[in-house]
Structure 1
Amino acid sequence: MRSLSVTDGTGVGAPRALLRRELLLAVRTPLDTVMPLLFFAVVVLLFPLAVGPDRSELTAIAPGAIWIAILLASVLSMNRLFRADADSGFIDQVRVEGASLAGLVAVKVASHWLCVALPLLVLLPLIAAPLGLPESGIPDLLATVALGSATLFLLGGAMESLALSSRGGGILIALLLLPLCVPVLIFGTTALQAKQLGMTTAPHLSMLGGLFLLAATLCPFASAAALRISLD
């Protein structure tokens, strides 16, 4: 693929150029986007088969089933976030041109969210019906998944950058990422459970929003530092 300069002399065009590059790469490699979505759908739809025809039991486990599937799909999708760019020398090019590695991380995570999580949000209303989730709970479901998935991807980016120099990168990412995702899993699940009980989801959404802001503030810089260590 033709080399892409990431700066325009002023640095103003760098984020836009990087985002355009990432979206073009996603279009050229659709399997990297489709596979996590298929994995999520298969995992979620296995729960009705395992539980059986008991609608009340299925509805009770639906929040946990959805979030476990999202968590596993997130781990699967993060495996090659930086690997190809590191192997091709693109990250070194970014460093030579003086562009911000933290900015690169932020743009890559944002484009990854647009390519994976955004289609997932479109898919969720179709998945909710077989799990017995009411239509009234779909807006809260979308809000929790939007915030939670963004946090998971930011954490996953940090873990992927740490595991970049490891041969067993995928397994290492999972081992590092899963414990950090427990708060997102808890608040995402309890938000949906609160909605099922007719309670407000505002406290849970606030916690998910706080976790996202914390991850958005810290993770790009942590990822940039880990990339420098992995590539030096």
Structure 2
Amino acid sequence: MDNLPTNQSINRDVGVAALFIAALRRDLMLSLRRKSELVNPLIFFLMVITLFPLGVSPEPGFLAQLAPGVLWVSALLATLLSMDSLFRSDFDDGSLEQLLLSPQPLFIVVLAKIAAHWMMTGLALTLVAPLIGVMLFLPSEGMPGLMLSLLLGTPTLSLVGAIGAALTVGLRKGGVLISLLVLPLYIPVLIFGTGAVQAAVTGLPIGGYLALLGALLALGITLAPLAVAAALRISVSG
């Protein structure tokens, strides 16, 4: 009997879940209204992939060899491109200050905003990636590794990028500063993601790379919302 949850803890859990869903729904609706911010990362991703063969070499064998790295670098930069707008609109209209003053757990709202950002950018890039892989002559053996690595890696990019966005939300031109802050932290995700695709292409096991990406994702989900909440309080109060 001592291990059974109390009514208070059950109500708190239901309240946290409802808060997360409400914040997630709000940000998704706002993102769908701002279609330019939704489409820009995808357009950037497609432009980089399209221009790369023109600037280097259209030879299929050469493109297939570079495809894993090109796809991952393009996805990373496309995600980074949209990070500056994560908290910008809330800061401009004053709703971010109201959110900081509310008694609701800030890290839950932050996690919902990051999840909405990933669904609009990282998930969209993951779904488009196989088509882009075909354009770069990526072998079919590498497609599972590409999809799984992006599915595990892009949420980590959003989580880490949100820390930089929170630190620079009060600055007028924080996009460049975000890049300087978070790009070094993106390197492990880039290495393991590219390694997973290359291993899949050569027929090697990819479980180790995916496990490392999953560990980074678990660490990011645990720590990033708390870091983002603290960074928002510092940026807004300062």
TM-score of the two chains, using structure 1 as the length reference: 0.92
Counterpart amino acid of residue 92 in structure 1: E
| Contact 2:169–2:235 (CA under 8 A) maintained in structure 1 | yes
198, 201, 223: which is aligned to 2:203? 198
Alignment of 1:33-52 (within 5 A): 33-52=38-57
Aligned to 1:132: 137
Q: 1:132 to 1:99 in 2, by over 3 A?
A: same
- SS of aligned partner of 1:13: helix
98, 101, 104: which is aligned to 1:99? 104
In 1, distance between residues paired with 2:185 and 2:121? Answer: 20
| Contact 1:48–1:130 (CA under 8 A) maintained in structure 2 | no
Aligned to 2:193: 188
Give how far 1:79 is off. 1.0
Aligned to 1:111: 116
Q: Which moved more, 1:213-222 or 1:127-136?
A: 127-136
Counterpart amino acid of residue 53 in structure 1: P
149, 157, 163: which is aligned to 2:154? 149
In 1, distance between residues paired with 2:17 and 2:32? Answer: 25
Give how far 1:124 is off. 1.1
| Contact 1:26–1:32 (CA under 8 A) maintained in structure 2 | yes
Q: Which moved more, 1:132-141 or 1:35-44?
A: 132-141
Alignment of 1:1-232 (within 5 A): 10-232=15-237
Give how far 1:91 is off. 1.9
Counterpart amino acid of residue 185 in structure 2: L
Give how far 1:10 is off. 4.7
In 1, distance between residues paired with 2:94 and 2:57? Answer: 51
Tell me the percent identity: 44
Pairs aligned (count) = 224
Aligned to 1:3: none
Give how far 1:12 is off. 5.0
In 2, distance between residues paired with 1:190 and 1:47? Answer: 20
- SS of aligned partner of 2:163: helix
Counterpart amino acid of residue 216 in structure 1: I
Residues 122-144 of structure 1 show CA distances to partners (whole Å, capped at 9, x for unaligned) of: 21111111111122321221110
Residues 31-80 of structure 1 show CA distances to partners (whole Å, capped at 9, x for unaligned) of: 11100001011101222222323222111111110111011111101011
| Contact 1:159–1:173 (CA under 8 A) maintained in structure 2 | yes
Q: 1:227 to 1:131 in 2, by over 3 A?
A: same
Give how far 1:121 is off. 1.9
In 2, distance between residues paired with 1:33 and 1:153? Answer: 14
Q: 1:215 to 1:12 in 2, by over 3 A?
A: closer
Kindly report structure 1 stretches of 4+ aligned residues shifted beyond 4 Å.
9-12
Say what the alpha-carbon RMSD is for the aligned residues. 1.5
Q: 1:134 to 1:10 in 2, by over 3 A?
A: closer
Give how far 1:11 is off. 5.0
| Contact 1:40–1:70 (CA under 8 A) maintained in structure 2 | yes
In 2, distance between residues paired with 1:166 and 1:14? Answer: 28
TM-score of the two chains, using structure 2 as the length reference: 0.90
Give how far 1:148 is off. 0.9
